[in-house]
Structure 1
Amino acid sequence: MPENGFFVSPDGRDDGPGTADQPFATPKGAQKAARAVTTGMTGDVIVTFTAGVHRLEEPLTFEDTAGDSGMNGFRVIYQAHGYGTASQAKVELSGGREITGWTTGDDGIWTAPIGDLAPRRLTVDGRAVARAARTVGLPGNVTKIATGYVTDSTEPQSWPDPAGMEFVYPGVYPWSEARLAVASISGDASSTTITIVQPAFDNAKSLYDAKWYGAGGDGTWDGLAAPSVLENNVAFLTEPGTFAVSRTDTGDHVLHYRPRPGEEIGKTSVVAPVLEALISGRGVHDLVLRGFTFTDAAWSGPARTGGYLHYHGNARHEQGGFQKIDLGADVGYVHVPAEPVQLPANVSLASVGRVSLEGNHFTRLGAGGLLIEDSTDVEVRASVFDEISGSGIAVHTSTRVSVEDNLVHHIGTEYRGSPAVLVVESAETAVAHNEIHDVPHNGIVITGGERAKGTQVISNLVERSMGKLMDGGGIYLSGPQGSSFAGGAMVRGNVIRDVLTSYNFGLYADYGAAWITVLGNIVHRADTPIVLQVGPPMENVAFVGNFWDALPDTYDTPPETVTVAGNTVLPKESFDDAVRADPAGADILARAGRRGLER
């Protein structure tokens, strides 16, 4: 038994002693008690949560100056009861609110007042539920105008509460998906005018200004010509298990939900996310969080800015101007945000050290799952990330972060350019033995820069990446990764299968990639396993000892400082059997993915 231990239960009392028999009621109550004993620690302080849903009224914030760090070589540990045993408790830390006051209309749709809430997703009996959508775009003949769109259809005039709608543009750049809010809909007997919120629409036109000469013709590209998907209107509420929010009066919103078969008012739980942050850590050290389910959190960024102007990875435009990037006279040009802003996460750590997150489940979250920035010696292991609007795990400008043995799937459900795992300008980061599947764009992204060096991308299993957008891959690296092969990035022993959309690369070294060793990986069923000609060109990259099912273009004439040697091409039709028959290939397969699991 640790010297200092406290317990938390949804049935407890914060004015009690926090023992196993008389637990605290809230995480905040237990945190206050733990803070009181950290100064003189002579052993780990363990805060144990019993099973149940712990609804957070405010984010659980860990700060070094408040006494949340371990001291004297010991740790502060927050954990689920029975962590690591067969009887481990299921503990949810939820930022959501149960919706009540339901009534049913003649059309079978449930409605409930929700005040000023405007959820972008719901949880119904533990399942993620998306907003109602029209997936065939605007009706009629559509023309883009300075303020939005005109169509010769009068149908949009019948859609109630148009200001609550959002238009979606998959492939606005091949690797991007934009979202824009509607301001108003007006019209007459022969046409309808849809006005988009400003300045978001003008900013979108500036950001997505591009020419692609390789596409033929004059290279004109207009990803904003018309939206492909329209979301959040009761007129689109035809599929069971979808919802819409009407906002007729400010502060008096109404939630509309079309139930699935078997769901009943009074028996079915409907939870709307409220908090935008569940866990926030700053400056803390020697802290452990393990065995929790982090769930039901929101992000209101698109509502605040009139949309989501995505560029690449987690970067978007929210402020500042735009920079033109010339890709070459025979390729074209694009614009990028001059001051890119990164997608936030519902669990975030900044300037922390010696922190461990282990065995957690990040699910039904409205931003990214986990963000680590400006931190040192952080472990993220044996956790699951799914049903997340943005990225799973993001690491920014940090040192010695380990991301190992995690399962990441079905992320990017709203912001589809989001990677499963993103590492930005970080040093000595290890991304190893993770399993990633069913993601809309890149599986793993490593972005280089002045700080980047020593990244290890080892023995990951990436399957069914690039499910929605193009121009990416299972593993994507850009920019310099150090200043030598010895201190650069190592990409070794990864297995990449089924890179789905067109124009993709299994292992993608792009945009001036440098000082990267790509050694002993397997790529099967991608458009092409690697690309050798990129702009700006790659330098000092080695592709050695890999297995793939097609010979990359210009394989025999790579760039001057790029090495391609000892790679093996196996037949597509019998690839699985052939690679298993090769001792080196069999060893790569056996090691890839989460350790200790049957595959």
Structure 2
Amino acid sequence: MFQFHVAPSGDDSWPGSAGRPFATLDRARAAARETGGDAVVHLRGGVHPLARPFELTEADSGIVFQAYGYGTPEQEEPVISGGRVITGWQERDGVWVAEVGELDTRQLYVDGRRAERAAVPGLPGEARATATGYVTEGESLGWRSPGDVEFVFRGVYPWTEARCGVAAVSRDGDATVITMAQPAFGWAGELYNSTWEGRSSSGPGLPTRIENDAAFLAEPGTFVLDRSRPGRHVLMYLPRSDEHPSRTRVVAPVLERLVSVTGTRDVSFKGLVFAEAGWLRPSAPEGFLHYHGTGYYEGGGVETAVIGEGASVTYPSASVTIPACVTFDAAENVTIESCRFTRLGASGLGVTGGAGLAVRRCAFDTLSGAGIEASGSRATSIEDNRVHHIGLEFSGAPGISVAGTRDCVVAHNEVAHVPHCGIVVGSGQATRILRNLTADTMEVLADGGGVYLSGPQGDSMDNQALVQGNVIKDTRTPYNFGLYTDYGASWVTVEGNVVLRADNTAVLEVGPPLENVVYRGNFWDQDPLGHDNPPSGVTYGGNVTYKDERELNVATAGIQAEAGPRR
């Protein structure tokens, strides 16, 4: 097998040997391609900046990309980065200011830490919604670049968080008129309409948070991007006390996609770090009209779901999904092992179609979107990964999500500190959710769970979903279900799981109703909703409730020891 090397200090005119490595992944790919796929590309430690997304096609089948010294004590840490280091800072009244040309970004990373966009809680004083935006009474808002301001609407529905930009701000006597960007605000009026207990609501309501104006720079460690002068954007950062522009590394993402693998077979990625890519779509006039999970609305009409007597919500007739910064499409027999996905402004890893992809012993953290999403793939294995602190910008994003898959295994993962669901399973066949550990899920939004399933999961016992041996604890927000089979889930067996410290452990009566769902041999600290009178589509038996947590832990010590990543 041919061996090639890439190093940040290399040169593409060199032969790619250990002593004279290439400088870029593109050059290494070209050399490896010439071998017919019989090649290993070793990446030395340090930052490997990408000028454009790194793409692999069928012609690159068989190549292995791995950290130098992979699997040994001398393993190095190569970082594949889509970011730009910000320099040329000037200090003005304690704020670092840099002119960044046409740079557009929603994220900033300071010495590897994610900086928050500067924000205020909501509109001051009296405010009311209008057909085109909002009106507030009293003094001027004092925003310096209104066209860069973004409104966040958390909890329009308990499981949603939308984002819409401001178009303009003007004064009308003693009032301030805020005109919102279109079509986002109009779409929000279409999408968010509900009736509950005789009360109806329409539109997004008042914002719960307002981001990205220099007037909001009050908290150290926050930033603002002023785009009011085309081509002469200004980045502003309020530093922490221990930071100094001469020794602090500040990176803004430039690329939206780091790696794209299409139609490739038998490739491997081992020991690599994927970092510093973004996603600018929510900053456009279309905004981010979130509905559920990583799905959002961009027009096309809505439908109405009746969720009980006198209760209904509207939902998108069709939706699109937050993209991932590393994608695999129609790829087969791919291994992604011991990699880290971090400091990304969208989701981490996205898999569509293909077969035989294995994601194992990877880490996913500091992500704006989801950790792992697989759709339409066969025989996908997601095992022994750690997913935490994701959904930092798009709060509906789950840790791990699979939908439309067949023979997918999600096993021995740890998902912790996520804003909504830990593991989500949409319609599919023969999905197995085995011995995972979820903790501190549902930290921001409501109506979800540590493990959440919806829709048909097969058409018989032979291809049903199996949810077994999972430990689900500390499901945080009110109105949640630790283990949640929802919205017409069918052909599911839920067996031998442990649920504790949730608002509700599970629920058996949902709409549309559950069909061919079996709950047996589970352990929890409170009875599920509907346990005393299970609906006809649910078989409920052999489950044990321990009101004393110590007794529950003793009784389930074996299950708890097996859940989560294997050492």
Q: Is the 8 A contact 2:116 2:223 kept in 1?
A: yes
Matched, 1:57 2:51: yes
Structure 2 residue aligned with 1:73:
none
Matched, 1:447 2:426: yes
The change in CA–CA distance for 1:162 and 1:254 in structure 2 (over 3 A counts) is same
Q: Which of 202, 206, 222 is 2:186 aligned to?
A: 202
Aligned amino acid, residue 413 of structure 1: L
Structure 2 residue aligned with 1:348:
327
Aligned amino acid, residue 559 of structure 2: I
Q: Is the 8 A contact 1:172 1:222 kept in 2?
A: no
Alignment partners' CA distance in 2, 1:423 and 1:182:
35
Q: Which of 154, 160, 185 is 2:139 aligned to?
A: 154
Q: Is the 8 A contact 1:8 1:26 kept in 2?
A: yes
Gaps of 5+ in 1: 71-75
Matched, 1:476 2:449: no
Aligned amino acid, residue 371 of structure 1: G
Alignment partners' CA distance in 2, 1:198 and 1:68:
43
Superposition deviation, residue 279 in structure 1: 0.5
Q: Is the 8 A contact 2:190 2:203 kept in 1?
A: no
Q: Secondary structure at the match of 1:32?
A: helix
Superposition deviation, residue 331 in structure 1: 4.5
Aligned amino acid, residue 378 of structure 2: T
Structure 2 residue aligned with 1:591:
562
Q: Is the 8 A contact 2:140 2:171 kept in 1?
A: no
**Which is worse superposed, 298-307 or 288-297?**
298-307
Superposition deviation, residue 211 in structure 1: 1.0
What TM-score do you get using the length of structure 2 for normalisation?
0.98
Alignment partners' CA distance in 1, 2:137 and 2:52:
48
Q: Secondary structure at the match of 1:588?
A: helix
Structure 2 residue aligned with 1:32:
30
CA displacement, residues 152-190 of structure 1 (integer Å, 9 cap, x when unaligned):
13241x111100010001111110100000001111451
Superposition deviation, residue 359 in structure 1: 0.4
Q: Which of 2, 6, 13 is 1:15 aligned to?
A: 13
Q: Secondary structure at the match of 2:268?
A: strand
The change in CA–CA distance for 1:222 and 1:86 in structure 2 (over 3 A counts) is farther
Alignment partners' CA distance in 2, 1:207 and 1:186:
27
Structure 2 residue aligned with 1:237:
217
Alignment partners' CA distance in 2, 1:222 and 1:264:
48
Identity of aligned residues (%): 46
Matches within 5 A, 1:98-497: 98-105=85-92, 107-135=93-121, 137-156=122-141, 158-213=142-197, 218-222=198-202, 224-328=204-308, 330-448=309-427, 452-497=428-473
Aligned amino acid, residue 306 of structure 2: D
Alignment partners' CA distance in 2, 1:321 and 1:223:
14
Q: Secondary structure at the match of 2:440?
A: strand
Q: Secondary structure at the match of 2:463?
A: coil
Alignment partners' CA distance in 1, 2:285 and 2:458:
36
Q: Secondary structure at the match of 1:579?
A: helix
CA displacement, residues 13-62 of structure 1 (integer Å, 9 cap, x when unaligned):
101100000000011111110011116x4xxx110011100000111101
Aligned amino acid, residue 54 of structure 1: H
Aligned amino acid, residue 359 of structure 1: S
Alignment partners' CA distance in 1, 2:75 and 2:153:
43
Aligned amino acid, residue 115 of structure 1: G
The change in CA–CA distance for 1:305 and 1:484 in structure 2 (over 3 A counts) is farther
Superposition deviation, residue 580 in structure 1: 3.5
CA displacement, residues 251-281 of structure 1 (integer Å, 9 cap, x when unaligned):
1100000011121112111110000010000
Structure 1 residue aligned with 2:60:
68
Q: Which of 538, 551, 562 is 1:562 aligned to?
A: 538
Alignment partners' CA distance in 2, 1:189 and 1:556:
62
Aligned amino acid, residue 130 of structure 1: E
Aligned amino acid, residue 373 of structure 1: T
Q: Which of 498, 506, 515 is 1:530 aligned to?
A: 506
Alignment partners' CA distance in 1, 2:147 and 2:365:
30
Q: CA RMSD of the aligned region, Å?
A: 1.1
Q: Which runs of 4+ in 1 moved over 3 A?
A: none
Q: Secondary structure at the match of 2:76?
A: coil
Superposition deviation, residue 377 in structure 1: 0.4
Alignment partners' CA distance in 2, 1:555 and 1:473:
18
Superposition deviation, residue 223 in structure 1: 6.1
Gaps of 5+ in 2: none
Q: Secondary structure at the match of 1:285?
A: coil
**Which is worse superposed, 295-304 or 316-325?**
316-325
Structure 2 residue aligned with 1:47:
41
Alignment partners' CA distance in 1, 2:65 and 2:285:
36
Q: Is the 8 A contact 1:120 1:130 kept in 2?
A: no
Alignment partners' CA distance in 1, 2:73 and 2:521:
42
CA displacement, residues 346-404 of structure 1 (integer Å, 9 cap, x when unaligned):
00000000001000110010111010001110000100001100000000011111000
Q: Is the 8 A contact 1:173 1:223 kept in 2?
A: no
Superposition deviation, residue 194 in structure 1: 0.7
Alignment partners' CA distance in 2, 1:474 and 1:331:
29
Alignment partners' CA distance in 2, 1:407 and 1:299:
23
Structure 2 residue aligned with 1:95:
82
Alignment partners' CA distance in 2, 1:407 and 1:85:
21
Alignment partners' CA distance in 2, 1:316 and 1:515:
28
Superposition deviation, residue 558 in structure 1: 0.6
Q: Is the 8 A contact 1:377 1:400 kept in 2?
A: yes
Q: Which of 564, 569, 580 is 2:553 aligned to?
A: 580
Alignment partners' CA distance in 2, 1:570 and 1:230:
44
Superposition deviation, residue 303 in structure 1: 2.1
Matched, 1:516 2:492: yes
Alignment partners' CA distance in 2, 1:444 and 1:305:
31
Alignment partners' CA distance in 2, 1:123 and 1:567:
47
Q: Is the 8 A contact 2:165 2:287 kept in 1?
A: yes
Superposition deviation, residue 222 in structure 1: 4.6
What TM-score do you get using the length of structure 1 for normalisation?
0.93
Q: Is the 8 A contact 1:154 1:188 kept in 2?
A: no
CA displacement, residues 193-229 of structure 1 (integer Å, 9 cap, x when unaligned):
111101110111110011122xxxx222356220010
Aligned amino acid, residue 30 of structure 2: K
Superposition deviation, residue 322 in structure 1: 1.4
